[in-house]
Amino acid sequence: DTDDITEVQNFTRALYAEPNPELFGVAKGKNVIYIHLESVQNFLIDYQLNGQEVTPFMNSLTRDSNTFYFDNFFHQTGQGKTADAEFMLENSLYGLPQGSAFSTRGRNTYQAAPAILGQQGYTSAVFHGNNRTFWNRDEIYKRLGFDKFYDLSYYNAKEEDVLNYGLKDKPFFEESVSLLESVPQPFYAKFITLSNHFPYPMDQEEATIEKHTTGDTSVDNYFQTARYLDEALSEFFAYLKESGLYENSMIVMYGDHYGISENHNKAMSIVLDKEVNEFESAQLQRVPLFIHIPGVEGGTMHQYGGQVDLMPTVLHLLGVSTKEYVQLGTDLFSTQHDSVVPFRNGNFISESVTYIDGRLYNTATGERIEETEEITRMKEQTEEKLRTSDVIVNKDLLRFYTPDGFTPVNPNDYDYTNKAE
Ligand code: GP9
Ligand code: MN
C-alpha cells in the first residue's frame, strides 16, 4: 500500500501547477466565506423570463469590479450530488463512480482544506439548515477537520420557515450571521443553501417572479426558487456588510450540480429556445463560480475548470502552498492550469473538445470531429485522474502519507452536538 501511495504521488506531483505569482497570497489572512449554491446552473445567469432577470443579484456580481466570475466552470459530481461537490472542494479529490464518498468513506484519513487552514490559525465552520446526519456530514466533517457544524438544531426555525430539505435560505442567512460572528477570525466558513432543491417547491406568497410556462412542473418551478435564493444571497451580503465582516472576507460562491436533469431536455429546449441534445446537455453542466476579494480587481474569466480545482485555487489565494498535498485539481489562475475538465463518468470537456460516451464534438460549434492524438491523450489523462482518485479514496491511501508540516486530524477532537438541544 505504501507502493500505491508512491505511485499516486508520482502522478499528482506531475499534475501540480505553480501558483500565479500575481495572485498568490492576495487574500492572505482574510476570512473565507464559501456559499454552496444548491442546484444553480450557469444558464440562469443573465437569463430573462418575461423580460425579467431571474437572478439579478448574481448577475450584478458578474459585473462587480472586485469579483472574478468564471463562465466555463463545471460541476463534476456523480451520484453523491451535494456531497460530491463538497468532497471535491475540500479535498481536490473526485467523488466515487457509485454512491457517495461522504457516506461510504466517512472514516478515511483526509488532508482537507479546513484541517490545513486550521493549522494556519483559521477556525472552520459549516452552516446548513438540515439535520447534521444527512449525507453522513457529522462523521466525515470530523475527518476533514471542521471545527464547528451549525446544523438545523442551532437555528430557531419556526414551522413556516421549514420547507423541503430544511430551513429556507432567507431565515437561514438571517440567523447565521450572529452564529458566524461568534466564530473566531480568521475563519473558513461554508454556507450550504437548500431552498433551490428539486422539485423546487415554493410558498406562492413569497414568490417574486412568475413560474416558467414549459408545462414541465419542476422546470417551471425552478425559476421561482432560483429567484428566492438570489434574493437570499443579496440579503446575506447586506448582513455581512452591516457586521463589518464583508471587508475582510473572501467570498467564494459555486453551483453544486445541475438542477434540471437530462430527463427534462424537452422543457429545456423551450427555456433556451434551441434543441437540447447530448452536446447541449453537456454544455449545461456549467455552474457559476464567483470569487470576491476586497481590494482585488476581478473580471470575467473564460478558462475551463471544475470543482476539483477549487481547493488549490483558494489555498493559493490565501498564500498557502499546495505542493506537498495529494490533489487532482489545479489552480484556475495558474498558467499551468489543466483546462481539460473530467466529468465523473469519464466524459470530458475542454475549450476545443466535448467528449460524450465515445462521441467527439467541437466545443465551440457542436459539430462532430475526428479523434486526434491530442484527444486520445486527453481521454487517457481523464481516465487516469479518475482512476487515481478512486484508488486514493477506496484504499484510504492518505493514511500512509503525512505532508510536511501537517498534523494528522484526530476525529475525537470534534463534537457537533448542540448542548442546548
Ligand atoms: C441536503 C442537501 C441536498 O442537506 O445538501 O443534497 P442533494 O440532494 O442536493 O445532494
Ligand atoms: Mn445539491
Q: What is the mean pLDDT of each run of 10 residues along the chain (421 residues)?
A: 91 98 98 99 98 98 98 99 99 98 98 98 99 98 98 97 98 98 98 98 97 98 98 98 98 99 98 98 98 98 99 99 98 98 98 98 98 98 98 98 97 95 73
- Please state whether beta strands 31-37 and 187-192 pair in parallel, antiparallel, or not at all (unpaired): parallel
Instruction: Measure 270 CA to ligand 2 centroid, in angstroms.
Output: 24
Of the candidates 26, 415, 38, the one whose C-alpha atom is nearest the C-alpha of residue 191 is 38
The per-residue pLDDT for 421 is 73
Of the candidates 139, 278, 270, 256, the one whose C-alpha atom is nearest the C-alpha of residue 193 is 256
The per-residue pLDDT for 2 is 78
Complex ipTM more than 0.85, yes or no: yes
82 lines ligand 1 (CB under 6 A): yes
Minimal-distance CA residue to ligand 1 atom 4:
130
81 lines ligand 1 (CB under 6 A): yes
Are residues 347 and 378 in contact, defined by beta-carbon separation less than 8 angstroms? no
Angle at 168 between CA 164 and CA 170, to 5 degrees: 160
Minimal-distance CA residue to ligand 1 atom 6:
82
Instruction: Measure 127 CA to ligand 2 centroid, in angstroms.
Output: 14
292 lines ligand 1 (CB under 6 A): no
The per-residue pLDDT for 420 is 85
82 assigned to active site? yes
What backbone phi and psi angles, to 5 degrees, belong to 168? -60, 150
Minimal-distance CA residue to ligand 1 atom 5:
82
